[in-house]
Chains A and B, each alone.
Chain A
């Protein structure tokens, strides 16, 4: 199995029926849960710190209480973080949602063509598309800033919208191609027999069964565009940038207001965390199917 060939929305877990347990296995089981729980605490340490610190006020400034719950639960940090981040949150939604939808549609069309159409050098073309997903964007950044300026795309949300669509294409294409490979070819043959051309087949046979693919791709694109900082740093500023930029300004600098910046980190993470909690299964599906975009 390679990541590029895993069929998409697979659930990772297909549990096996449990084996009968012996005495030694029972002890092993206790040990196993002890280890698992220990790691739950370790993994959740940053979440705990974020949460408690975001509610701390000046009275809890002493480092000796840094790991303890707030003595008084203050919401000043949350208020400040919300005031700073709210405009950026709106801008990020306005950029991420259309970017995800457009790149998903383009990816679906490409995926369909590449999974069905064996043209000469199809594999080479596919590999060249895929490579676009692995490149460090630093390797195109300087001319990219000039190109976007030359095209007259304004800095901020418009630029980022274009960039997330374009550089999201490889992964969307990959996920959809793998998804469509699993569509039985009889379905497409039947459509062809009925005289449907490629476009008709795509619109009336393929699109209606693409919902699971779209869910995976949309989640993936939403998460990676929402969490992007690299493009945002080069193509926007505090006044027109997405939430990652606003957060980095709120939290940056030598003297940090830790309550506000930790509240800000929680606010900025909430949309992707909600997606993860509600649609976790598909989130994992996206991770597995598309290797990863860094």
Chain B
């Protein structure tokens, strides 16, 4: 018994501050958040009558929240598709050693070092809608102006000011920011494929396409999975970028659960705010928990 304390004691002493902090700041607070979401605390005045799932039912029946969920889905699909396409394309081109490779990699990856708030400043300008001043003169700036001047005027649009598709415009800067990261993941994946494997396939008379179809893609699928999980969960949480690009937090067009949670919090509707937080947690958990279990199983093997 004493020996056990002696071997386990120091290890426990090293790790216990973290375990206690995370037990409180993650798990206890999640539980408390669920409790608050089941009360009727809809104003700043403290009140904690238990109302069960009522807030959740009301939210899911609310057209605004349904719109926010639909926006979130659209945002995630566009964000994922964009980062995967560009990330894979860049990694595929840069996979073979090339002159200036380090330069290209650094440029593609640099947006990752910038905060969404800082990049949001410039994207707010880039994604300005078409504008005219009082006298009818054209005041359009941003990408719309650029598109017009290079003869692509038909691509001009109102970007995020659209209740149905506006949120897809928010995905543009998000793709700009994270494609380099997905590229880095794919590059690591490509470099993990032994050259012998390719050689063997070529000697067996594999065409280039068959080589990809049967050798490269299967080898890349774990990387692909990581990229989907990481980008997917970032998309579910995306908040800063939307706040930076759209000045008014109440703007209907671009509401997602994360921004709605903030609006409710500002309005002191703590119960609804907590409920939206819980819904976000469930959405993220649906994506991440299977992945974490899968990862920990893989490690055991």
Band of interface residues on A: 35 or more
Is B176 within 8 A of A46, CB to CB? yes
CA A136 to CA B104, docked complex, whole Å:
33
Task: Take A117-B11, A142-B36, A262-B121 as given contacts and tell me if A127 and B126 are in contact as well, using a CB distance cutoff of 8 Å.
Answer: no
Tell me whether A195 is interfacial, beta carbon within 8 Å.
Answer: no
Provide the bound-state CA to CA distance between A67 and B248, in Å.
26
In this assembly, does A234 line the interface, its C-beta being within 8 Å of a C-beta of chain B? Answer: yes
Is there contact, CB below 8 Å, between A143 and B222?
no
Q: How far is the CA of A64 from the CA of B139 in the complex (A)?
A: 8
Interface size class of B (residues with CB under 8 A): 35 or more
B261: CB under 8 A from chain A?
yes
From known contacts A106-B18, A113-B11, infer whether A18 and B97 are also in contact, taking CB-CB under 8 Å: yes
Interface residues of A in 264-292 (CB under 8 A from B): 264-266, 268-269, 272-273, 275-276, 280, 283-284, 287-288, 291-292
Q: Does A100 touch B at the CB level, under 8 Å?
A: no
Q: How far is the CB of B269 from chain A (nearest CB, A)?
A: 10
User: Chain B residues near A1 (CB, 8 Å)?
Assistant: 188-189, 192, 222-223, 226
Complex CA gap A269/B102 in Å reads: 22
* CB-CB under 8 A for A141 and B265, given A14-B191, A15-B97, A268-B117: yes
**B125 touching A53, Cβ below 8 Å:** yes
Contact of A43 with B108 in the complex, beta carbons under 8 Å: yes
Task: Please determine whether B298 and A287 come into contact, CB atoms closer than 8 angstroms.
Answer: no
Q: Is A287 within 8 A of B112, CB to CB?
A: yes
Known interface pairs A66-B142, A229-B239, A276-B113. Does A139 touch B281 (Cβ–Cβ under 8 Å)? yes
Q: Does B234 contact A (CB under 8 A)?
A: yes
Q: Which of A10, A19, A198 contacts B11 (CB 8 A)?
A: A198
Interface residues in B15-41 (C-beta closer than 8 Å to A): 15, 17-19, 21-22, 24-27, 29-30, 32-33, 36
Residue contact A125 to B230, C-beta cutoff 8 Å: no
Check A63–B140 contact: CB distance below 8 A: yes
**B138, A109: Cβ atoms under 8 Å?**
no
- Cβ of B105 < 8 Å from any Cβ of A? yes
The distance from the CB of A161 to the nearest CB of chain B, in whole angstroms, is 14
Is A13's CB under 8 angstroms from B105's CB?
yes
Of the candidates B14, B96, B117, B229, the one having the most CB atoms from chain A within 10 angstroms of its own CB is: B117
Give the distance in Å from the alpha carbon of A66 to the alpha carbon of B58 in the complex.
47
A197 to B137 Cα, complex, angstroms: 78
Contact status of A15 and B101, CB under 8 A, knowing A140-B26, A166-B21: yes
**Chain B 117-156 per-residue mask, 1 if CB under 8 angstroms from chain A, else 0:** 1111111111000000000001111100110010000000
* Residue B195 lies at the interface, judged by CB distance under 8 Å to chain A: yes
Query: From residue B230, how far is it (CB to closest CB) to chain A in Å?
Result: 5
B188 contacts A288, C-beta separation under 8 Å? yes
How far in angstroms is the closest Cβ of chain A from B287?
A: 8
A197 to B247 Cα, complex, angstroms: 57
Chain A, Cβ-Cβ closest to B114: A269
B-facing mask of A220-249, CB < 8 A → 1, else 0? 000100111110011000000000100110
Q: Which residues of A contact B273 (CB under 8 A)?
A: 141-142
Instruction: Indicate if B168 sits at the interface (CB-CB under 8 A).
Output: no
Q: Is the CB of B113 within 8 A of A273?
A: yes
* A179 lies within 8 A of chain B by Cβ: no
Residues of B262-296 whose CB lies within 8 A of A: 262, 265, 270, 273-274, 276-278, 280-281, 284, 288-289, 292-296
Which chain A positions have C-beta within 8 A of B105? 12-13
**Docked-complex contact A287 and B181, CB < 8 angstroms:** yes
| Contact B26 A226, beta carbon cutoff 8 Å | no
Q: Is the CB of A143 within 8 A of B33?
A: yes
The stretch of A33-41, A182-190, A207-215 in contact with B is: A33-41
Nearest A residue to B8 via CB reads A119
Task: Write out the residue numbers on chain A whose beta carbons fall within 8 Å of the beta carbon of B8.
Answer: 117, 119
Contact check, B145 vs A13: say whether CB atoms are below 8 A apart: no
Cβ of A126 within 8 Å of any chain B Cβ, yes or no, is: yes
Q: Which of B126, B248, B276 contacts A46 (CB 8 A)?
A: B126
Instruction: Report B-chain residues with C-beta under 8 Å of the C-beta of A143.
Output: 29, 32-33, 36, 274
Contact between chains at A292 and B181 (CB < 8 Å): yes
CB distance from A174 to the nearest CB of B (A): 11
A73 contacts B by Cβ under 8 Å: no
Q: What would be 11 A-B contacts, judged by CB atoms less than 8 Å apart?
A: A5-B295, A12-B184, A12-B188, A135-B30, A138-B258, A138-B280, A147-B25, A173-B18, A227-B115, A247-B118, A269-B114
Listed from nearest, the 7 A-B pairs whose CB atoms lie closest are A227-B115, A139-B281, A276-B113, A140-B29, A15-B97, A143-B32, A294-B234
Other A-B pairs beyond A15-B97, A138-B261, A256-B247, 12, CB < 8 Å: A1-B223, A5-B295, A15-B101, A50-B121, A113-B14, A140-B29, A141-B277, A143-B33, A198-B7, A228-B115, A233-B262, A244-B240
